[in-house]
Amino acid sequence: MNDTFLKACRGEEVKYTPIWIMRQAGRYLPDYQKVRSKVDFLTLCKTPELAAEVTIQPIDILGVDAAILFSDILIPLEPMGLKLRFLEKKGPVFSNPVRDRRSVEKLIDIEPEEDVPFVLDTIRILRRELAKKVPLIGFAGAPFTLATYMIEGGSSKTFLNTKRMMYQNPPLFMELMERITDNTVAYLSAQIDAGAQAIQIFDSWAGALSPADYERYSLPFVKDAVKVLKKKGVPIIYFVNNCAGILDIARKAGSDVLGIDWRIDMAKAAKQIGKKRSIQGNLDPLCLFMPRDSIREAAKDILSKASSARGHIFNLGHGIIPETPVDGAKALVDAVHEISSK
């Protein structure tokens, strides 16, 4: 198996810089569209053979160094009692958002093998099919990011309901965060037991908080989860979107790797993160619309700026967008491999 990705996560020496791409299994790939045209998104997530098939597509098409389980961060919220739908164009919607004490108390603790068996079955299929290829990354949303979806009932620009609960009823907010954290730990532990060889925790909306609020309302829960999950022995990546103002705080979560978005300079981020953790990132996803030569230059710049880091896993600064030309993604993978080869 190609273990370059796992080595870079641990800060071990590698022959070249590994790369994978957030949302690498997705709508920009015609092969994904073909599978997706027959089933809706949630059915795709809940059908292990199909979920495994689309997980593997980018490994063969792009030549990336890790696979990420095809699923969604919102999947474990369904068995917790939230009614989830994905609407075309609008994205995820919960018809029963969690906004008061009664709905927090009504939440159900999940038993992963019983409540999300399809996720664990997908992992087991993938470990067999990827055995000679690349490692498999499992994932979950960070508690704060999941809380925003639960409280807002979907995506949000202002996070009005989330911040209203946070500021008007902090004990209730903290109670909700604890429930989410416990369930996230159970969910990720089950993924590791089923065979996930690394895990990523997505804090997509951490950057919506002030540094003080991030430190109070998001970080402690990620830190608690990391502390428990570390005992499982697989590398933990903590992705913090819009991290520039909070990177020095996010470090304290204790993850093996910090994933960063593109709004911060890689050299600056590498310096802030220090030598105890590896770094993942951070090309602007829209750079994949540039001509091949420019993509190569952009990759070269990031690779050289990350050279002082303990370890570097190349990635985009956030998910690849559906309109992206596949050739742009291929050009990036080839450039990273070629430039970084020693």
Check residue 324 for interaction with ligand CP3 (CB under 6 A).
no
Closest CA to 258 of 311, 298, 305, 217: 311
155 part of the interface to ligand CP3, by CB under 6 A: yes
Footprint of ligand CP3 on residues 90-109 (CB under 6 A)? 91-92
Within 10 A of 207 (CB to CB), how many other CB atoms are there? Answer: 17
Residues binding ligand CP3: number (CB under 6 A): 22
Instruction: Tell me whether residue 36 is one of the annotated catalytic residues.
Output: yes
Whether 84 contacts 140, CB under 8 Å: no
24 binds ligand CP3 (CB under 6 A): yes
Q: In the structure encoding, which two tokens stand for residue 214, read together? A: 């991030």
Q: Are 84 and 92 in contact (CB under 8 A)?
A: yes
CA distance 73 to 142: 9
Using CA atoms, how far residue 20 sits from 43, 64, 149, 226, in Å, is 25, 5, 26, 22
DSSP class of 206: G
State the catalytic residue, choosing from 28, 65, 121, 149.
Answer: 149
Whether residue 282 contacts residue 266, with contact meaning beta carbons closer than 8 Å, is answered with yes
**Is residue 329 a contact residue for ligand CP3 (CB under 6 A)?**
no
Indicate whether 204 belongs to the interface with ligand CP3 (CB under 6 A). Answer: yes
* H-run or E-run covering 113: helix 112-115
Smallest distance from ligand CP3 to CB 25, Å = 4
Q: What is the β-pairing status of strands 84-87 and 91-94?
A: antiparallel
Return the residue of 29, 35, 66, 73 that touches ligand CP3, per CB under 6 A. 73
Q: Distance between CA 262 and CA 214 in Å, rounded?
A: 19
Binding window for ligand CP3 (CB under 6 A); candidates: 21-29, 121-129, 217-225, 279-287: 21-29
Please give the Cα distance from 140 to 298 (Å, whole number). Answer: 29
* 121 makes contact with ligand CP3 (CB under 6 A): no
Run of H or E residues at 279: strand 278-283
Q: Is 23 a catalytic residue?
A: yes
From the candidates 3, 16, 31, 36, give the one annotated as an active-site residue. Answer: 36
Residue 128 appears among annotated catalytic residues: no
Nearer to ligand CP3, 25 or 219 (CB): 25
Number of alpha helices (DSSP H) and beta strands (DSSP E) in the chain: 16, 9
Contact call for residue 36 and ligand CP3 (CB under 6 A): yes
Using CB under 6 A as the binding rule, whether residue 222 contacts ligand CP3 is answered as: no
Does position 139 interact with ligand CP3 (CB under 6 A)? The reply is: yes
* The dihedral sign for the CA sequence 218, 220, 221, 226: positive
Nearer to ligand CP3, 27 or 223 (CB): 27
Contact 126, 195 (CB under 8 A): yes
- From the candidates 3, 10, 16, 27, give the one annotated as an active-site residue: 27
For this structure, is 72 an active site residue? Answer: yes
| Site membership for ligand CP3, residue 62 (CB under 6 A) | no
Interface residue with ligand CP3 among 6, 9, 14, 22 (CB under 6 A) is 22
Q: Does 179 bind ligand CP3 (CB under 6 A)?
A: no
Site membership for ligand CP3, residue 291 (CB under 6 A): no
Instruction: Give whichever of 173 and 239 is closer to ligand CP3, judged by the CB atom.
Output: 239
Provide the annotated active-site residues. Answer: 23, 27, 36, 72, 149
Instruction: Give the footprint of ligand CP3 on this chain (CB under 6 A).
Output: 22-27, 36, 41, 68, 70-74, 91-92, 139, 155, 202, 204, 241, 319
